[in-house]
Chains A and B, each alone.
Chain A
Amino acid sequence: MNMNNGIPLAQASALYRPDADIGSPPVLADPQALLNAFHPDYLGSSVTKLAVGANAGDSCQRELAGLLQAEAIIDEADLAGAPVTDIDVLVIGGGGAGCAAALAAAERGARVLLVTKLRLGDSNTVMAEGGIQVAIEPDDSIQRHIEDTLRGGHDIGNPELVAAMAEDGPDVIRWLIRAGMQFEQTASGDLHTRRAGGMNAARIVHCRDYTGLEMMRVLRESVIQHRAIEVWEQSPAVELLSNEDGRKCVGAVFKSLIDGRFRMVRTHSVILATGGVGRLHLNGFPTSNHLGATGDGLVLAYRIGACLRDLDSFQYHPTGLVYPPHLSGKLVTEGVRAAGAWMLNAAGQRFVDELLPRDIVSAAILRECQEGRCVRVDDGRVGVWLDTPRLERSQPGLLERQFPKLLARFRVSGVDPRHDPLLIHPTLHYQNGGVVIDVNGATTVPGLYAVGEVAGGIHGRNRIMGNALLEIISFGRRAGVAATAQRDRGPKKVTLEHVNRARRDLTLAGIPLTQAAPQILPDYAAKGIWNR
């Protein structure tokens, strides 16, 4: 890393002009070449092949592979004396997908236990800004939505899953409105729709740029108020439980951050809704994700034998903040570019069409930074400009009307996006792949479901904006419903047999058992968390 890359911030700020004469960006002749050269997914040394498990032989991001092929963090002996709870449906994860699953299961009469690592609602969902996709405009259709999604994902998404999600769209919105979620309306009362990157129609519905917050607080309140749903907070899942042959999921083990004790839960169905992996800082990137996004569900699913997919594909969102430092990696919504904001390098020039798919735009920014046409802050971090002042000049009041969250975050820092351009750099944002599921959210392991970001097969190699919020509700509900249909006499034994199997496989493959997973929290935030 060249610590002297680019122009210092003060100098670049002095050079910046919101009214400079700027033309169109250069046309990108060979997008694939750009990706190959600069996008982290295409960096040879960032990818390896898995040696054990259901995806042995498949490509996987190197640091993630380390966790998927790591030792478990508990032993059977740790469970001595641990209290046991029996429940109909267990949901692991307290974000949008987890809450949707819990509510759907409870609606069907199940008793539900929702267990979350931190506080209910602590998730990536609550931070989502852009909105949720739904094909409701007259010039749009469900089929178009499906096609845009598959194309954005480089045509490797599962068409059946994509179709299910797109078809669910309108009913998902109705369900959310009934639960009490507000959306922006036009003067005629229609839902206001926006177009975003990779879409052929205006399809994003939203609540200002607080869509995730609006959704999460409504879902959270619904779950808290629901008499059939019990919630445990501050309780990370540390392992799943399997039946006597280690092939069926029959529950999970949790360790409380409050009292350090283990608790076991036995159930008919486990729904993993554990979210993303941003806080693993893959390839050394900052992240937009919340603190708990450490891929725990992915690790647990793999260990019990679930099939995963696209483990070498991660979305680096182009516009992650660089400054002020406490907001490092935090997202500026694509909606700002969709509204017309440009990106400028240190020379004050546009360098890529801002509304190309995210992976291409991110690769272009990384190119500018590596080739020195970037702006540098004091501690050596670099970025390019997102020209929000120019946007404000062309549409006065727009930022305050449509992007209050953007402005709110800067209030305490003395930076005003209406007057100061924002320094941005790609940020690790979304796990495109994940656990393989069917249209009911069922994984390849009986008894185990996966919904939301932890699941894969919908977004291919690149998610387009607004599909994440749709996916979590659509599949969350599907899994919640399907989970209630599971009624058998239960397992003969409740074991950690799958952990032993994984240990055996790892040892025989020559993989050292020096690393333990799941990670639970990133190292910098994990000081003394178990020391009660």
Chain B
Amino acid sequence: MESLNTILLHPDRRIGADMERWRKAGGGQALARAAVDPAAVREAIREADLRGLGGSGFPVWRKWDAVAAESPKPDKYLVVNGNEDEPGTYKDRLLLEETPHQVIEGALVAALATGANRVVFYVNPDLALSLAALKTAIELWQASELLDLASTALGRPLELTLLPGSGHYIGGEETAAMEWIEGRFPFPRGKPPYPAQVGVHGCPTLINNVETLAQVSHIVAHGAEWFRSLGKAPGTGTKLYSLSGDVLYPAVYELPMGTTLRELIFVHGGGLLSGKPLKAVFTGGPSCTLLAPVDLDVALDFDSLRARGGSLGTGAMIVISEGTGIVKRVAEYMRFFAHSSCGQCMSCKTGTATMSLLLDRIDTGRGTAADLATLENLCAMLPGTGRCHLITGVVQLLDSSFRHFKHEYRQALR
């Protein structure tokens, strides 16, 4: 198991808010380097091919370069996105609760690399333990000379703020987070303009996921080549996979980016409960595509999955065995998304409400062929029509369940 929990979840780092232990284990090196040469930091992130690990898979260096190129108006923001709320994803809360300092260091490295002077730690308000650990950790940093070092390097004071989110799922979307930070309901704003140009209070803003920033401190400390070597090409570095569902050992597993689904489920996860055969895996959790048993040997990295017509998302893998009904499960998720729709866009709100209604009917023996046809028509009509990605992701989920399990839907009709 020499590939498991080697970096972010290394036992030496899972020490909570104890800053002294964290420094003894090597914490702070990355910040020292970033203070000296911010441009080199950006170069390292590019070389390492670090991707957005909150679900986008977007090359991190592009966002950083965009923000670095802007001038403060009069500030620049870094938002650490810890509003984790996706079903089946629980890696960020773990990092915040058990390794807050590596997250904070990564954030400050990012701030220095892009010129951000205000850092907002934006966390799901229901994550009580994570919030408590982060609060303590931030206070320690505010009393620490490391922060002074960073402020000096930046040329202005670095301000750290902890802001619990609104409790709405949609608050995890980048532009929605910005709305909440500005004191309003977290409605996604739609892009353009992009946060790099117009973000919090009109200032250039970088938003990165907690796991992404945790990786940053290690890339900068040990170099891009080292990071690349940890992954299985084309993947680089490690990834936190949130494994849940019908497996023996549901947990967060840090493994090389590009580990196969088979290895994750059967080597680390202990296989399926009661020895039942694998039926499907909801990836990304769950507003992405389904994987089927035929996909067991696919590499779980962004590019390999995209080539397969799927997406890695947050790296959540919700495993279901034969014995779970797809219609019911999809109906459950659809109810979650219908509940979470913020209401701005007709396509998303009315679309998810309608799909939820129809799935519910089908699942409870009241659905007709016409209802199934309406669902298919909506899948054709709705992608790409919302201000954010929610409705597109929801349709992906439904579509992909049709592709693999249409017969189950038909059987459920009356």
Interface residues of A (CB under 8 A from B): 258-259, 532
Interface of A is mostly: loop
Question: Can you sample 6 A-B contacts with CB below 8 Å?
Answer: A258-B368, A259-B368, A259-B414, A532-B368, A532-B369, A532-B370
Task: Please give me the 6 A-B residue pairs with the lowest Cβ-Cβ distance, nearest first.
Answer: A532-B368, A259-B368, A532-B369, A259-B414, A532-B370, A258-B368
Complex interface: chain B residues within 8 A of A258 (CB): 368
A258 to B414, CA, bound (A): 11
Closest to B361 in A: A258
B292 to chain A, nearest CB (A): 30
Contact with A along B355-372 (1 / 0, CB 8 A): 000000000000011100
Interface bits B399-414 vs A (CB < 8 Å: 1, else 0): 0000000000000001
> What separation, in Å, do the CA atoms of A532 and B414 have in the docked complex?
10
Closest residue on chain B to residue A261 by CB atoms: B414
B414 surroundings in chain A (CB, below 8 A) = 259
| Min CB gap A247→B, angstroms | 37
In the assembled complex, the Cα of A259 lies from the Cα of B414 at a distance in Å of 8
A-contacting residues of B (Cβ < 8 Å)?
368-370, 414
Q: Give CA–CA (A532, B413) in the complex, Å.
A: 11
A259, B369: Cα distance in complex, Å: 9
Chain A proximity of B35: nearest CB distance (Å)? 65
Question: In whole angstroms, how far apart are the Cα atoms of A41 and B369 in the complex?
Answer: 45
Contacts of A532 in B (CB 8 A): 368-370
Residue of A nearest to B367 (CB): A259
B330 to chain A, nearest CB (A): 22
What's the Cα separation between A259 and B370 when bound, in Å?
9
Of all chain A residues, the one with the shortest Cβ separation from B369 is A532
Interchain CA distance A172-B414 in the complex, whole Å: 44
CB neighbours (8 Å) of B370 from chain A are: 532
Interfacial chain B residues near A259, Cβ < 8 Å:
368, 414
Nearest CB of chain A from residue B193's CB, rounded to whole Å: 35
CB distance from A349 to the nearest CB of B (A): 50
How far, in whole Å, are A424 and B381 apart by their CA atoms in the complex?
39
| Interfacial chain A residues near B369, Cβ < 8 Å | 532
Please give me the residue from chain B that is nearest to A258 by CB atom: B368
Q: In the complex, what distance in Å separates the CA atom of A532 from the CA atom of B370?
A: 6
**Taking the nearest CB of chain B, how far is it from the CB of A231, in angstroms?**
16
Q: Give chain A nearest CB distance to B94 CB in angstroms.
A: 48
Question: In the complex, how many angstroms separate the beta carbon of A430 from the nearest chain B beta carbon?
Answer: 34
C-alpha gap A208/B370 in the complex (Å): 39
Complex alpha-carbon distance, A532 and B369, angstroms = 6
What is the distance, in angstroms, from A259's C-beta to the closest C-beta of chain B? 6
Complex CA gap A532/B373 in Å reads 11
CA of A394 to CA of B414, assembled, Å: 61
Which residues of A lie under 8 Å from residue B368 when comparing CB positions?
258-259, 532
Q: How far is the CA of A259 from the CA of B365 in the complex (A)?
A: 11
Measured in the bound complex, the distance between the Cα atoms of B67 and A491 in whole Å is 83
- Looking across the interface, which residue of chain B has its beta carbon closest to that of A532? B368
Q: How far is the CB of A260 from chain B (nearest CB, A)?
A: 8
